[in-house]
Amino acid sequence: MSQEEELHGQFENISQTFNELLILSENLDNNYQKLLSELAVSEDQISGFLSNPVNFTEEEWSELESEKQKMQEMLEVQLSHLQDPKAMKKKYSERKRIKNNWLFVR
C-alpha cells in the first residue's frame, strides 16, 4: 500500500468518525429539546437557574463550578487537537504533486 493510499484511508477514517460524532451530537440535541418540552421550560430558564448560586448549597455550587472548569479545559484540549477535514484533504492533494524520488519531511 502506498503512502498516498494510506493517507487517504486515514482521511476516510477521520471523516467517518466525524460523521458519527455529528450524528451523536444531533441525537443529544434532540433529546435535550425533548426534555425541555416535557418539563415545559426554556433554555433561558434552565440557564438562569443553573447560573444562580442561590439555588444551590455552597458545596453543590463549588462542585458545579469545578465540573464546569474541568469541562471547559477538556473542550479546549479537544478543540486544539481537532483537524479540519477540508484542510487535510487539500494537504493530501498537494502531496500528490511531490515526485516519488523526494522524501516528504514536515
Give the model confidence (pLDDT) of 30-69 as tens digits: 999 999 999 999 999 999 998 999 999 999 999 999 999 9
Cell triple for residue 65?
463550578
75-88 residues labelled b (16+ CB within 10 A) or e (exposed): eeeeeeeeeeeeee
Residues 81, 13: Cα–Cα separation, whole Å: 16
The torsion angle over the Cα atoms of residues 17, 22, 23 and 25, rounded to 10 degrees, is 120
Instruction: Specify the amino acid at residue 3.
Output: Q
Average pLDDT, the chain: 86
pLDDT tens readout for residues 70-93: 999 999 988 887 777 777 777 777
Whole-structure pTM value: 0.52
| Nearest alpha-carbon partner for 17 in 70, 68, 88 | 88
Q: Enter the DSSP assignment of 8.
A: H
**Using an 8 Å Cβ cutoff, are 28 and 20 in contact?**
no
17-49 residues labelled b (16+ CB within 10 A) or e (exposed): eeeeeeeeeeeeeeeeeeeeeeeeeeeeeeeee
- Per-residue pLDDT band for 96 (boundaries 50, 70, 90) equals low
